[in-house]
């Protein structure tokens, strides 16, 4: 018997083909986020829910779909899922770590370069047809080579970003909750949270979003930073107090930002649209066809394993699994 799977949104073709082969598949084929009612109607009676980071899977939704054996998230972050509620129902929750590390680190470095060298602003100038040619003092940006990159959190993506930065002759410092071995640090230097804020020319956020990291960066933290510093966020929007960031950018308390994630996606603080010193991207960190395909395959591996009574490769609440 193939497991019955509800998928909340279309995934890359090879993932869809595999799901069609290996599962009894129902999916939301509308090109938009499925509503809560649609997810409940689709997932009720299914063995597996294959959901996205834009789907809120909470206690109420799980209670409305009592047959679910697994919730497989298409994404490494899983703050969209009430894991405690799944754990209480003994439902494994899975995610897709590892395969999006390089793509997300690339995106963080792309935003860093774009913000430093004012790429979006320059693109807007050229498109406006108001560019009057090269001149010596036009759109002078920040030097990347020789600058200090500060990392808030030092997990897989932060370490991949550190490698990229080191190839650009940057000095890398990091703050991490748990100790980091010299091998993992690979030339980056650990520092206190406040020292990372004070010393960074570029500050990039790489912690998971939890109640503890909500608004980790706000007015008080921006006040510690250099007025020339730029903030990069490819993690989760609510780690930064977006209103405080707008204030810091408007008053030039900091020099700029490169943002791939926002506090209330797809809504943004309206002032961000008018600020020249911020580069805005629509949550593209893992958005390459190769990466999204690998994420889909991992999500499918996870759900098929649970449905076949095996341990899923990536379970975020392993306490619900039978002991090995
Ligand atoms: C994730 O996997 O958490 C990413 O934000 C999706 O791109």
Å from CA of 181 to ligand 1 middle: 26
Q: From the CB of 285, is ligand 1 less than 6 Å away?
A: yes
Q: Do domains 4-98+288-320 and 101-280 have the same CATH topology?
A: yes
pLDDT one-digit tens code per residue, 131-180: 999 999 999 999 999 999 999 999 999 999 999 999 999 999 999 999 99
Sorted by sequence, the CB contacts under 8 Å of residue 139 that are 6+ apart come out as 118, 121, 122, 125
Helix 156-167 × helix 101-116 angle, to 10°: 50
Q: From the CB of 225, is ligand 1 less than 6 Å away?
A: no
Q: Which ligand 1 atom is the nearest neighbour of the CA of 287?
A: 7
Report the DSSP beta bridge partners of residue 258: 232, 279
Q: From the CB of 81, is ligand 1 less than 6 Å away?
A: no
Residue ranges of the chain with per-residue pLDDT less than 50: none
pLDDT one-digit tens code per residue, 297-320: 999 999 999 999 999 999 999 999
Q: Which ligand 1 atom is the nearest neighbour of the CA of 261?
A: 5
Q: Which ligand 1 atom is the nearest neighbour of the CA of 73?
A: 2
Nearest alpha carbon, ligand 1 atom 7: 286
Q: From the CB of 100, is ligand 1 less than 6 Å away?
A: yes
Q: From the CB of 77, is ligand 1 less than 6 Å away?
A: yes
Active site residue 236: yes
Q: What is the CATH number of domain 101-280?
A: 3.40.50.720
Q: From the CB of 261, is ligand 1 less than 6 Å away?
A: no
Nearest alpha carbon, ligand 1 atom 6: 75
Q: From the CB of 286, is ligand 1 less than 6 Å away?
A: yes
Nearest alpha carbon, ligand 1 atom 4: 75
Q: From the CB of 76, is ligand 1 less than 6 Å away?
A: yes
Pick the catalytic residue from 22, 38, 265, 271: 265
- In CATH, what class is 4-98+288-320? alpha beta
Q: What ranges do the domains of the chain cover?
A: 4-98+288-320, 101-280
CB atoms near residue 307 (< 10 Å): 21
CB 183 within 8 A of CB 162: no
- Probe target for ligand 1 pocket from 50, 53, 316, with the most ligand atoms within 8 Å of CB: 53
Å from CA of 134 to ligand 1 middle: 39
Query: What is the 3-state secondary structure of the chain?
Result: CCCEEEECCCCCHHHHHHHHHHCEEEECCCCCCCCHHHHHHHHCCCCEEEEECCCCECHHHHHHCCCCCEEEEECCCCCCECHHHHHHCCCCEECCCCCCHHHHHHHHHHHHHHHHCCHHHHHHHHHCCCCCCCCCCCCCCCCCCCCEEEEECCCHHHHHHHHHHHHCCCEEEEECCCCCCHHHHCCCEECCHHHHHHHCCEEEECCCCCHHHCCCECHHHHHHCCCCCEEEECCCHHHECHHHHHHHHHCCCCCEEEECCCCECCECCHHHHHCCCEEECCCCCCCCHHHHHHHHHHHHHHHHHHHCCCCCCCECCHHHCCCC
Active site residue 265: yes
């Amino acid at each position: 018997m193939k497991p019955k799977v509800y998928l909340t949104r279309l995934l890359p073709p090879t993932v869809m083909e595999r799901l069609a082969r290996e599962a009894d598949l129902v999916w939301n084929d509308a090109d938009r986020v499925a509503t809560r009612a649609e997810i409940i109607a689709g997932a009720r009676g299914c063995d597996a829910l294959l959901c996205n980071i834009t789907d809120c899977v909470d206690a109420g939704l799980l209670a409305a779909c009592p047959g679910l054996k697994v919730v497989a998230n298409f994404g490494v972050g899983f703050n969209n899922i009430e894991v405690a509620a799944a754990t209480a129902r003994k439902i494994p929750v899975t995610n897709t770590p590892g395969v999006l590390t390089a793509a997300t680190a690339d995106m963080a470095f792309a935003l860093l370069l774009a913000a430093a060298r004012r790429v979006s602003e320059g693109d807007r100038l050229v498109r406006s047809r108001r560019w009057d040619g090269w001149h010596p003092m036009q759109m002078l940006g920040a030097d990347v080579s020789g600058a200090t990159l500060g990392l808030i959190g030092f997990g897989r993506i932060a370490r991949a970003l550190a490698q990229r930065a080191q190839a650009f002759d940057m000095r890398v410092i990091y703050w991490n909750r748990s100790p980091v071995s010299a091998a993992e640090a690979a030339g980056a230097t650990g520092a206190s949270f406040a020292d990372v804020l004070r010393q960074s020319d570029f500050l990039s956020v790489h912690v998971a979003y939890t109640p503890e990291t909500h608004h980790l960066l706000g007015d008080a933290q921006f006040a510690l930073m250099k007025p020339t510093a730029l903030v990069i966020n490819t993690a989760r929007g609510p780690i930064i107090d977006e209103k405080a960031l707008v204030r810091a950018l408007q008053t030039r308390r900091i020099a700029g930002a490169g943002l791939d994630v926002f506090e209330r996606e797809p809504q943004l603080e309206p002032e961000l649209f008018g600020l020249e010193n911020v580069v805005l991207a629509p949550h593209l960190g893992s958005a390459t066809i190769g990466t999204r395909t690998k994420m889909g395959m991992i999500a499918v591996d996870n759900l098929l394993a649970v449905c076949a009574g095996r341990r899923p490769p990536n379970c975020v609440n392993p306490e619900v699994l039978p002991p090995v």
